[in-house]
Amino acid sequence: MGERERIAREGWEGRLWYHSHFGVRSDVTRSTASNTLLAQRLLPLLKWWPRVNRETLRADAVAGLIGAIVVLPQGVAFATLAGLPPEYGLYCAMVPTLVAAVFGSSMHAIAGPTNPLSLMVFAVLSPLAVPFTPHYIELALTLALMSGVIMLALGLIRFGSLVNFVSSSVVVGFTAALGVFIFASQLGNFLGIVSPPASLANQVSATFRHLGDARPWVVLVATATVAVGALSQRVLPKIPPMLAAMVLGSVAAFFLNQALGADQTGLRTLGPLPGALPPVSRPDYSVATLQSLLPGAFAVALVSLTQALSIAHAIALKSRQRLDNNQEFIAQGLANVAAAFFSGFPTSASANRCGINYDAGARTPMAAIFSALLLVLVLLAVAPLVAYLPIAVVAGVLFLVAWNLIDVSRIRKMLATSRGETAVLAVTFFATLLLDLEFAIFVGVLVSLVLYLNRTSHPILRSLVPDPRHTERKMTEVEDSLVECPQLKILRIEGSLYFGAVGHVERHLDTLREHSPGQKHLLLMSKSINTIDMAGAELLVEEARRRRADGGQLYLYSLRKPVEELLERGGYMVEIGRENVFRGKREAIGGVFTRLDRSICATCRARIFDECASVPKPKET
């Protein structure tokens, strides 16, 4: 929460005082503060603009120039991956980037073309139209508009927590499969084999059937591009690897074509860019098109938001900034809407550009704005050179992108630490390879939700006893060396007692009564019960009735306030018995002890409670 929101919510009477660095008069009335907060929500630029000064502008301009240079190879490569002309990837880094900077809450996130979304665009649109054709481009614009409207709507209705349901294992599995897709889709270009777009299996099989048609010089240039990109990070750490790979690969291809001829080498080029400024575009509003793209638009929106929020939060951890998820939804939605009308395609926050932006010393979102504006100037200077960019070099760059998408270290960690996370990762990975991409992400989310519900529906139940080795007689889990009271079972429920967990808890309680009929009394340590619903409350009431019927009682202690309030409101506390509910451990043990059968206590040798000292020990025989 920002400073203004904090002050406004504290509800001070009279006048409110603001620090001068917020750029607001120190003497402001409550109505003025409310208007200011509303204006900031509508236009977040007003919140950070007072921080802009000569020093931040200098730092942001440098970071923006670096970002503009970095996006050149990325934009070309990602547009090609999406099945669009290369200039569309660069247009995505102009108006959409500027819009996201103005309306977003992150100081360092930069929107633009990304590899996962580019491949999703291709997967959604290639069955509907031929890539690189006018109709395909029109569908890409429409997909950007629809996904943007979905994101905008989710942000306006405050659904910012929605991305929390996309677990990291889903993201890792999905992006790893996207890496495999990129390898498969670019294998033909890497080898110099021309093949029409097809499914993953058909692409790979068609490429291997025509391996004899591979062009050696194309393979050489593409391999050299990959090698330069892989080695430049160590040799030239200050130069973006993709930029170094693209420049050196293009130079090598240029000299080969000059020496041997393009027909001999087979090194085809992209051709010239039409212009530096994005032309105004018009999506397809026909009902048939909207219906056919709707499932894909939801999937694109989900992936875009997940990627944007995860990257923005990762950078925010470093910069110690608090983000507004809902505002990020709105920003990404507006950025995609802008892409639809300014010759773009679906966009999100770019991991590479956001990280470089932060490391380059960006201070405010002006860095993203500078990046968008400077890209126009940079493009005016280098646009003629793009005509000499070989397709083999783009394929090599995309191979580097594909490899970076496969997070090997994260996958190893998941395999070593969690079967559940590994299962979600595997299902998402194979679903992405075998199903349509727009449905694969939903399969991964569904599986992760099922596993989550399975975990929450099986709360841990631990039998406890006082630990004689601890001075405060701390409750500890029953061990072989520790004995229980023959009349009282102490149980801790760790988790929420809701309708999904009732069956599991009920079966455990039935087992306790069956295996330990002498323990007629049950004391529940309840502070680990986070929440409870009517089904859980009715379970407690039924257990209390059964215990009373057997000559015992059900007792609760250390209830959380929300749990206690629900039991009171529903009348369940009366049925359990208010006299059976205790605040703390000592009060509970003391109260329950008075209700135990003294004849059994007289012959008991367990003596696990301090109160047992008041009962004479049984005589030795």
User: What phi and psi, each to the nearest 5 degrees, are found at residue 58?
Assistant: -65, -45
Residue 284: pLDDT band by 50, 70, 90 thresholds?
very high
Instruction: State the pLDDT at residue 29.
Output: 55
**pLDDT at residue 237 above 50?**
yes
Instruction: State the pLDDT at residue 24.
Output: 43
Task: Determine contact, residues 340/145, Cβ cutoff 8 Å.
Answer: yes
Choice between 606 and 388, residue whose per-residue pLDDT is larger = 606
Domain boundaries of the chain, sorted by first residue: 3-43, 56-452, 460-614
* Report field, pTM of the whole predicted structure over 0.85: no
Instruction: State the pLDDT at residue 39.
Output: 63
Quote the Cα angle for 540-455-163, to 5°: 115
Quote the Cα angle for 190-191-196, to 5°: 85
What mean pLDDT do residues 30-47 have?
Answer: 66
250, two tokens: 């293009």
**pLDDT at residue 116 above 90?**
no
Choice between 275 and 246, residue whose per-residue pLDDT is larger = 246
6/3 Cα distance (integer angstroms): 5
Q: Which residue has the tokens 């859980």?
A: 536
Residue 511: pLDDT band by 50, 70, 90 thresholds?
very high
Q: How high does pLDDT run on average in the chain?
A: 84
User: For residue 365, which of 64, 610, 2 has the smallest C-alpha distance?
Assistant: 64
DSSP-derived secondary structure letter, 498: S
Choice between 546 and 73, residue whose per-residue pLDDT is larger = 546
What mean pLDDT do residues 506-527 have?
Answer: 93
User: What phi and psi, each to the nearest 5 degrees, are found at residue 493?
Assistant: -100, 120
| CA separation, residue 155 to residues 240, 328, 533 (Å) | 34, 8, 29
User: For residue 118, which of 154, 93, 150, 149 has the smallest C-alpha distance?
Assistant: 93
Give the contacts of 234 (CB within 8 A, at least 6 positions apart). none
Report the percent of the chain where pLDDT is more than 70: 90
141/614 Cα distance (integer angstroms): 82
Angle in degrees, 0-180, between the axes of helices 499-515 and 437-456, rounded to the nearest 10: 40
Quote the Cα angle for 33-34-35, to 5°: 90
Mean pLDDT is lowest, of 80-84, 283-287, 537-541, for: 80-84
Q: Which residue has the tokens 């041997």?
A: 260
What mean pLDDT do residues 19-45 have?
Answer: 56
Instruction: State the pLDDT at residue 419.
Output: 87
Task: Determine contact, residues 95/280, Cβ cutoff 8 Å.
Answer: no
Amino acid at 499: F
User: What phi and psi, each to the nearest 5 degrees, are found at residue 558?
Assistant: 60, 45
Choice between 558 and 161, residue whose per-residue pLDDT is larger = 558
66/364 Cα distance (integer angstroms): 15
Instruction: State the pLDDT at residue 198.
Output: 61
Domain covering 460-614 assigned CATH 3.30.750.24 in the classification:
yes
Amino acid at 347: T
**pLDDT at residue 600 above 80?**
yes
Q: Coil, helix or strand for 555?
A: strand
Q: Which residue has the tokens 């993953």?
A: 200
123/125 Cα distance (integer angstroms): 6
**pLDDT at residue 165 above 50?**
yes
Sign of CA dihedral 71, 293, 283, 99: negative
Instruction: State the pLDDT at residue 239.
Output: 75
Report the percent of the chain where pLDDT is more than 90: 37
Task: Determine contact, residues 231/57, Cβ cutoff 8 Å.
Answer: no
Amino acid at 555: Y
Per-residue model confidence as pLDDT tens digits over 396-440: 888 887 888 788 888 999 999 888 889 999 998 998 888 876 677
**pLDDT at residue 50 above 70?**
yes
**pLDDT at residue 621 above 70?**
no
Task: Determine contact, residues 375/68, Cβ cutoff 8 Å.
Answer: yes
Residue 9: pLDDT band by 50, 70, 90 thresholds?
very low
Instruction: State the pLDDT at residue 14.
Output: 35
308/116 Cα distance (integer angstroms): 12
**pLDDT at residue 18 above 70?**
no
Residue 41: pLDDT band by 50, 70, 90 thresholds?
low
Per-residue model confidence as pLDDT tens digits over 200-234: 677 778 778 888 888 899 899 999 989 988 888 78
Per-residue model confidence as pLDDT tens digits over 97-107: 999 999 988 88
Residue 2: pLDDT band by 50, 70, 90 thresholds?
very low
